[in-house]
Structures are given as structure tokens and as C-alpha cells.
Structure 1
Amino acid sequence: MYRSIYSWDSPSVNTYQQSIRQKIIGYDLIYDMMASILHNFTAANKFLVVGAGGGQELLTLGKSFPSAHFTAVDSSKEMLELAAKQIESLPHRPTIMWVEKDLLSLRVNEVFDVVSCHLVLHFIKSLDQKRTMLQKIADSLKENGVLFISSINADLTSQTFKHELCYWRSSMLHNGIGEDHWQRFEQSFSVTTHPINLELLINLLKEAGFTTILPYFKTHMIDALVAIKGETTI
């Protein structure tokens, strides 16, 4: 998770794993379904995890691909430490290179088979910055490489946005999130949370060189997509 501008009440590393599941309904499915989809691809050996703090990608993918090599990038030392603790439970720990770095200044000199970028993009403020980061991700992938990306996607000016917030509030409160915590989350939009609509995200991915873009999961305003760079054969 992109911690330097993460604003959902800035949960401590001790409560993060619980609180993120209270906020995002079906949180684990984003990662479990990613691992299942990846088994359709013959080459999945080198992974770049963008926003690796918390460790859910590393834990899920490490179980399914124990011999793979991972580069795990996050701007928060504390969240990378949490990720390292997460994977201690794995019977066979994968090879991981830890990189503490701001995602917008990331320069990767390797080429990867798979990139994951979950719940990060909506914390990148400007459209140009989002475009730049997606292009960096595309450039780090080999031809036919695969990107898994999830983010909050919404049009903040639309009437439906108010309804979507209302429904999300009901889910969070039902899962034990307090009203004051919800209000801080709601007030984060346009301040530290900067979503774009799904159509624009897909267009940005196409601009970056992804030719096959498919949704694989949705919960409230969060969409998860799988995107393939160039032509591919599954």
C-alpha cells in the first residue's frame, strides 16, 4: 500500500490487517483470484509488487509460486516490515528484494513477467502522475507480461457517487468501522484519495501499451483488472 499518502485513519501496523478487511469487502478475493488467474500463464517467475506494504500480495503469490523471485516496493519502512512478518508463515519463503522507495520516483532496470499494483493508484494525486506511473509499470513488463491492478474508481461529480458512498458506509459500519472513522474516510476524497472513473483508467492502460484489459473483481467502488501488455497466448 502506498503509505506516504495513505489516509484511512493511518492504522498502526498492528491493526492494519484487520482494519483493511473491515473497509474493503472481499479484500482477500482480490489476491486469491489474482493467483488463480496467473496459473493460466506459462511464464510467471519474476514479479514486481508495487505498493508491497502489508504483504498480502507476497503472502498469496508466495504460496502459489514459491520458487518465484519478487521485487517488493513501498515507500513505508514500517509497512515493508509488516510484509516481511506476513511471509514468515510460508513453509517455503520466496526470494524477495525489498525496495523502500517513493513509487513516483521508481526506476526499474529489470523486466518482469508479472506486476501487481493493488490499492495504490487512487492515492496518486494528478492524472499526469497516474499516467506516468502506469507507463513505468508497462515499461517494466516484458511483452505479453501481465499487470494486476485494483483501485477506487469513481466520478466524484456524479450523482451516483453519493449513492456509492452511502452503500459503502453501510458495509463498513456493519463490519465494525466507527462512524467517526467513516467520516474521516469520506472526507479524504479529493484531499488524499483521488479516484478516476473506470473508463479513464482503462484508457490510460491502453495508452501505456496494454491491449487486453479484463475486469476480474469488483466491490463497491473498487475494481480489480488484469491487463496484458501486447498480444498474448494463454
Structure 2
Amino acid sequence: MNQDELKALFDQQAADYDARWARTRPIRDCLHLLLDSAFAPLPQDARILCVGLGTGAELLHLARNHPGWQFTAVEPSGAMLALCRQAAEREGVSARCHFHEGYLESLPATDGFDAATCFLVSQFILDPAARSGFFNQIARRLAPGGILASSDLAADVASPAYDVLLRAWTSLMAAAEVPADAIERMRDAYTRDVGMLPPERIAAIIAAGGFQPPVPFFQAGLIHAWLSRRGDHVP
């Protein structure tokens, strides 16, 4: 799936995206709980880069808890970003946010961010070299020692464990009232449109982008998350 197709897909899904995934919110809430601890060392005036943030759940969570933080939101789907902006306005945090519609490479060259989030984004980049290049773009925008919290769908699809996790995952989606046809499309997408790789391979891709060895800090079903710090020598 190319960038235009991906943007169109999320534009189409934006209106009911949050409602569709509402019953899986405990997964997101747990990830955000651990994110709070991961970002605890950041300064009171931290600058946070949120890459591919969709409707803005992680930005809103962090902004509520840290009134001195500033945020740059990067999202290629204009429909998703509009919902993020509206939610930030309702929460009274939009004055601390810069909203950029487009992919990360279109964000004007900026560095010095204290931390970045990138949740369920890099999985759509199928070429490993391009995927490392994506993480390199994040690394080059972070201050030395800046923290990246990232997550992706991950599994060794050739292993018996994948079949077990996939069955559990699709059962979870069904229990969350995700329509059956959407679940079937999701299963197909995992083999065609998602770079589903073993967790250790994704960690290596992140490291090749200019980060210290990533540390796993969260897993829920097929979702894995890592903490990484910008390396001393970013390519």
C-alpha cells in the first residue's frame, strides 16, 4: 500500500475510528500508563514529537498530565488530524500544539525534541531499509539522548506462536464488536500491507535508524512497544 492509498484509507476511517476501537481502549490505556513512567525524566518544558498520531490519543493524554509540554503532531490524514485538533481545542491544549498535515519527511527540518511517540506507524513501511530510514528521520529530530516510545504489530509469522496469538487477537476484536468483515480484511492486511516481523527484527531496524538498542516495555497480543534513546552518532 503506497502513501496515497494509506492516506485515503485513514481519511475514510476517520469519522468512526475512535468508536470502532472503543472497546479495545484498555490496551491503549495500559500503554499510556507505562508511557507516563517512561517519560517521567523529561523536563517540565519538554518538546514532544508525535508521529502518525491519528486522532491524537497519546497527545491528549500527555498534554493533560503535563501542562508545560509543547507538542508537534504529524499526521498524513487530514481527516484524522482535524479530529485531533478538535479534541485538543475541547481539552484546552491546542495552544501548546503545532499540527502538521503530511508525512514526517515533509515536516520542516527541526531538531531538539526531548521525546517522540510513534504508535502503530512503522508497520506500514514494508521495506526494512526504508523503515530504518523512517526511524532515522525521528532520531535526527531528537535532542541527544532523546527518548522514542514506539509500537508496532510484531510476530514471527512462520512460528506456531503466531497462530496462537492471531486466534486470540481476532477473538479479542470480535469481542470488541469489530465487524466480521473488518476482521477478515485485517487478517488479509497482516499478510499483504503490514510489515509483520519478529520483535527482535523490528528492534534491530529501530537501532539501525540511529538509536541505542531498544528495550521492550509493553506487549498486548500482537502489539509490541519499545523504548529507545537517540544514539550518540546518528547516521
TM-score by length of 2: 0.86
Query: Unmatched 5+ residue regions in structure 1?
Result: none
Which stretch shows the higher mean deviation, 197-206 or 29-38? Answer: 29-38
CA contact (8 A) 2:134 2:209 kept: no
Offset at residue 63 of structure 1 (A)? 0.7
Aligned 1:127-146 pairs, distance under 5 A = 127-146=128-147
- Equivalents in 2 of 1:9, 1:168: separation in Å? 21
- Equivalents in 1 of 2:156, 2:40: separation in Å? 34
Q: Find out whether 1:33 has 2:34 as its counterpart.
A: yes
Aligned 1:72-87 pairs, distance under 5 A = 72-87=73-88
Aligned to 1:118: 119
Identical columns (%): 24
- Equivalents in 1 of 2:179, 2:125: separation in Å? 26
Matched to 1:54, the amino acid is: T
Report the secondary structure of 1:72's partner residue: strand
TM-score by length of 1: 0.87
Matched to 1:140, the amino acid is: R
Offset at residue 221 of structure 1 (A)? 0.9
Aligned to 2:47: 46
Which stretch shows the higher mean deviation, 205-214 or 173-182? Answer: 205-214
Residues 138 and 32 (structure 1), Cα distance of their counterparts in 2 relative to 1, 3 Å cut = same
Aligned to 2:229: 228
Which stretch shows the higher mean deviation, 206-215 or 185-194? Answer: 206-215
Query: Unmatched 5+ residue regions in structure 2?
Result: none
Offset at residue 168 of structure 1 (A)? 0.5
Residues 116 and 9 (structure 1), Cα distance of their counterparts in 2 relative to 1, 3 Å cut = closer
Structural RMSD (CA): 2.6
Q: Find out whether 1:166 has 2:170 as its counterpart.
A: no
- Equivalents in 1 of 2:8, 2:191: separation in Å? 12
Aligned to 1:206: 207
Which structure carries more relative contact order (alpha carbon 8 Å, separation 6+)? Answer: 1
Which stretch shows the higher mean deviation, 190-199 or 98-107? Answer: 98-107
Number of residue pairs matched?
A: 230
